[in-house]
Chains A and B, each alone.
Chain A
Amino acid sequence: AQKVTQAQTEISVVEKEDVTLDCVYETRDTTYYLFWYKQPPSGELVFLIRRNSFDEQNEISGRYSWNFQKSTSSFNFTITASQVVDSAVYFCALSEMNSGGYQKVTFGTGTKLQVIP
């Protein structure tokens, strides 16, 4: 069974600091997809990034960057120069096909990030 672990329950940083959110996953499949979502206090989940298991290139999007390492089954997320608007709960997720032929997404427990001004 697939599993996603986000060991950091809550992180507090001061504005402009860099912060890394850890994500470790378990899967038996060779083909899978990893995601990060942001859930601000309003509650809506906002899609941030998707990676497939065959693409280990790191990705940068503005202040956000992602480090995917299959050797350690990790997909970590770094926010550079954090801002108060980054305060949210961040979820890492893993997608596979289930036995019924449908996509099955497993979410981690989330990391609550608080950026202090």
Chain B
Amino acid sequence: SAVISQKPSRDICQRGTSLTIQCQVDSQVTMMFWYRQQPGQSLTLIATANQGSEATYESGFVIDKFPISRPNLTFSTLTVSNMSPEDSSIYLCSVASSSGAGETQYFGPGTRLLVL
């Protein structure tokens, strides 16, 4: 399985500001995913990021609020823009070696975000 790191591990931010979360993988992967986990809740997929193409967003998530970059096969960023307290969550990056339905997704340690 891949080793995945995320930066920052946690942050406290003021409303109206933006935060960019980085996800770094120790090997080249085809698929990278960004999830949100609100306090005490399950994981919700924000978007799927393929290298060299625009990210695919799930219903309820838009590019203006959560812009994503995927410049190469080992790195991605998620920006949480114009934050409000409702954005307080754990944001998790995950990777899969292919787009197949059976591919296991491995997760990073997450970024704990608190918006005041």
Contact = CB atoms under 8 A, between A and B. Distances in A.
Contacts of B92: 45
Given A101-B99, A103-B96, A47 B42 contact: no
Given A97-B101, A103-B31, A44 B56 contact: no
Contact of B109 (A31, A32, A44): A44
Interface residues of A, number: 27
Interface residues of B, number: 26
B104 interface: yes
Interface stretch (A16-24, A70-78, A106-114): A106-114
Given A43-B90, A43-B110, A102 B105 contact: no
A43 B109 CA distance: 7
B106 A95 contact: no
Contacts of A35: 104
B112 interface: yes
B116 interface: no
A102 B99 contact: yes
Contacts of B43: 45, 91, 107
Given A103-B96, A110-B42, A47 B110 contact: no
Interface of A: 31-33, 35, 37, 42-47, 50, 52, 91, 95-97, 100-105, 107-110
